[in-house]
Structure 1
Amino acid sequence: MENKRNRWSNLYLVLVFVVLYAPIFYLMYYSFNSGGTMHKFEGFTLEYYREVFQDTRLIIIVINTLVIALLSSAIATVIAVIGALAIQRVRSRRAKNTLLSLNNVLIVSPDVIIGASFLILFTIAGVKLGFSSVLLSHIAFSVPIAVLMILPHLEEMSPSLADAARDLGASSTDVLTKVILPVIRPGIFSGFFMALTYSLDDFAVTFFVTGNGYSTLSVEIYSRARQGVSLSINALSTLIFLFTVLLVAVYYVLTTKKAKQSPAEPAADAGVPR
């Protein structure tokens, strides 16, 4: 009975992955089609990949997207650490739940409403639409995501760690940098990468707050797709997907290697000044 249940579970998992990845592989397959369409494969070509690398404007947009994603994720993660520490120190359950609810507003709100709200805010405040407006909006919607990744690690941390550090003469800065931050480091990295993913993927909010002469990859792909099917979009999407797979593979190898070389130390000894 158990084996039968496992077989059905494995089959269901395979079907889920097929549904998720089949469109991506379909897109990748036709990025090599010399026929210029996604209906009939006529021959192998790298023409559309050459178009991507020869398109200076597109390369600049890719760089803009990476700069916005990395910068907004880093700033949002720092703010999220501060916010998570503040929420964790609130003793009143009602106040803490209120803060968490306010933190989650940007996550559950529709992207169109968030984008329109940012557009109105920047217009009233006189902020010129472009790099600054996109960066500020990406920071704003990335902070709640990072907080949700960091806060559980703070909640799981034993209060005795900080108390022991203070008893040993550690200052508040030492407690933060040598005890708390090392313990919640996995949450910080998770928050950063989640914020990075959301920033790279975002279209709706970015569409509202980009100005003339400045664009990100998601907005550019949307604009090109409206003009008609172009297999250069397939080629660009394939390169981005392969780059993402490479990053995930490198991250997995590094974390696995680190876990094998550095067995976990007792939690009570982590970061306590000596």
Structure 2
Amino acid sequence: MRRMKWGNVYLIFVFIILYTPIFYLLFYSFNSGGAMYDFQGFTLEWYQEVFQDTRLLMIVLNTLIVALLSALISTVLGVVGALAIYYVKKRQVKNALLTLNNVLIVSPDVIIGASFLILFTIAGIKLGFVSVLLSHIAFSVPIVVLMVLPKLQEMSPTWVDAARDLGANEWHILTKVILPFITPGIFAGFFMALTYSLDDFAVTFFVTGNGFSTLSVEIYSRARQGISLSINALSTLLFLFTVLLVIGYYFMSRKSSRLYGMWGRK
């Protein structure tokens, strides 16, 4: 009991440290005083300023397009990669593939961003939408693999054998047995890739070019020019959007789990 109590106290302490700056930023995004201190009154002026900024709205659209495209493509590639790793028979080869998959996750973002910058420069790829999209796909694929692979390992091989005994071909086994079972992992990988793309700064900062920007880079650029509560408003909107994504993933994963449980009982 004592260990559980101390564990709960520690978790509460960690969450306070993590969320206090966010709520501080959110609180002062409504400050009519125009500063990060001395709250003078409630106002939506800074949010109106955000929505009246045409350039910023275009950057928001760029960010969403990159995030959705990279999440969709990386989810497809990640599922294929997870299946490939799962069906490798030699243990050494499988461990080697898993190690290579984890390199982009454990490597510092600065190193990854610089590597992509050198690669795109050598390949002659102009920095902008394409370079940002390709880099986001690259660092999102390993995340999807790590989300999908555990679900594949939970699946009983006898299900596949039973499907083959009943006359199912490889395509039917994939679409009727494997994919329905790993659907929660696919959703998890998609939403993780989406949130990583939305929040990424370090890699995007290296590979973005003139005329193209994302929200994270834009927020950094505006923060360097001086304190403006429009940055608070913009950051708050981005945080709330991420929270909505997490909530959406939670309900979709619960629904898919219930549907799969009903399908499994049948």
Q: 2:31 aligns with which of 27, 30, 33?
A: 33
Gaps of 5+ in 1: none
Q: Deviations over 1:38-57 (max 9, x none)?
A: 12112222111110000011
2: distance between equivalents of 1:60 and 1:104?
Answer: 34
Q: Which amino acid aligns with 1:189?
A: F
Alignment correspondent of 1:51: 49
Gaps of 5+ in 2: none
Alignment correspondent of 2:128: 130
Residue 33 of structure 1: how far off its partner (Å): 1.2
Alignment correspondent of 2:234: 236
Q: 2:172 aligns with which of 164, 174, 184?
A: 174
Alignment correspondent of 1:97: 95
Answer yes or no: is 1:21 the counterpart of 2:25: no
Distance 1:212 1:158, change over 3 A: same
Q: Which amino acid aligns with 1:212?
A: N
Secondary structure of 1:91 counterpart: coil
Residue 242 of structure 1: how far off its partner (Å): 2.2
Secondary structure of 1:229 counterpart: coil
Output the aligned Cα RMSD: 1.9
Distance 1:252 1:225, change over 3 A: same
Q: Which amino acid aligns with 2:138?
A: A
1: distance between equivalents of 2:88 and 2:260?
Answer: 34
TM-score, normalised via structure 2 length: 0.94
2: distance between equivalents of 1:135 and 1:195?
Answer: 12
Alignment correspondent of 1:86: 84
Distance 1:257 1:110, change over 3 A: closer
Q: Which moved more, 1:161-170 or 1:136-145?
A: 161-170
Alignment correspondent of 2:261: 264
1: distance between equivalents of 2:118 and 2:143?
Answer: 23
1: distance between equivalents of 2:35 and 2:70?
Answer: 37
Alignment correspondent of 2:116: 118
Answer yes or no: is 1:212 the counterpart of 2:210: yes
Secondary structure of 2:213 counterpart: coil
2: distance between equivalents of 1:83 and 1:255?
Answer: 21
CA contact (8 A) 2:66 2:133 kept: yes
CA contact (8 A) 2:188 2:249 kept: no
Distance 1:223 1:25, change over 3 A: same
Secondary structure of 1:249 counterpart: helix
Q: Residues 190-229 of structure 1: matches in 2 within 5 Å?
A: 190-229=188-227
Residue 243 of structure 1: how far off its partner (Å): 2.6
Distance 1:257 1:91, change over 3 A: closer
Alignment correspondent of 2:139: 141
2: distance between equivalents of 1:186 and 1:117?
Answer: 33
Distance 1:262 1:31, change over 3 A: same
